[in-house]
Amino acid sequence: MRGRRRRALLVLALFVGFAGTAYLAGGFIRFARDVAALAVPPAGGQADGIVVLTGGEQRLTRGIELLREGRGRRLLVSGVNRETSAAALARTTGTDRALFDCCVDLDYEALNTIGNAEMTTRWAREHGFSRLLLVTSDYHVPRSLLEIAGVPGAPEIVAYPVSPDKLWRRDGWPSRLGLRLLATEYAKVLAVKARLALNLAEAGHLVHRVAGRQS
């Protein structure tokens, strides 16, 4: 009898493991497909401001270009290294320092994507902005949108993805480096979804407890 139970439990464990692996694999394929399908918004699209999440010169260069084109009134560069000055960024991007002095804000506080989301929302609130262009790498867009959406009072976000050339092959498939990066990012996205769901459940439980006490 015990032998049968053990075999049944083993079969069940194998089935659950197989189903879980298939679910994760399917989710990763959908994630990679969605990232590959990301496209920049139409040229005529306007926003109140522009936010660049640091992580590569390509992102900052594109953000500066959008600011010059008048796609937003101000630009926030979030997650800047504390040893990096506005003058250094102006030189790196070949930008007139006057543009930085006029219309570029540097955020030295954010240390990760959660911090980026919080600082982006705070910056938008301080300037009265309700719609922002978000410039970051294509693989980073899904997690960035999740984190910003999880901040109370977050503005409307229009993603402006930047595609790193070394991550994608000419035929549209990810390179080896790109595949590893997508897998890592997918795991982070799952972690963010789990954390946000847990926070929502805890908030709902707290509201239920308060309502129960008041009744």
Q: Tens of pLDDT along 43-67? A: 666 799 999 998 778 899 999 999 9
Listed residue (36, 74, 49, 60) closest to 157, CA to CA:
49
- Contact residues for 111 (Cβ-Cβ < 8 A; gap 6+): 79
Q: How confident is the model at residue 78 (pLDDT cuts 50, 70, 90)?
A: very high
Does this model's pTM top 0.95? My answer is no
Q: Collapse the DSSP code of 73 into the 3-class scheme (helix H, G, I; strand E, B; otherwise coil) and give the result.
A: coil
CA distance 110 to 108: 6
Token look-up 């997508």 returns: 182
For 140, list phi and psi in degrees, rounded to 5: -90, -10
Domain boundaries, the chain: 23-38+167-215, 49-162
pLDDT one-digit tens code per residue, 122-169:
999 999 999 999 999 999 999 999 999 999 999 999 999 998 877 888
CB burial string 75-114: b at 16+ within 10 A, e below = bbbbbbeeeeebeebbeebebeeeebeeebbbbeebeebb
**Residue 85 near residue 60, CB atoms below 8 Å:** no
Listed residue (157, 85, 50) closest to 93, CA to CA:
85
HSE, CB side, 13 Å, CA atoms: give it for residue 118: 9
Query: CATH assignment of 49-162?
Result: 3.40.50.620
Q: Please say if the pLDDT value at position 90 is more than 70.
A: yes
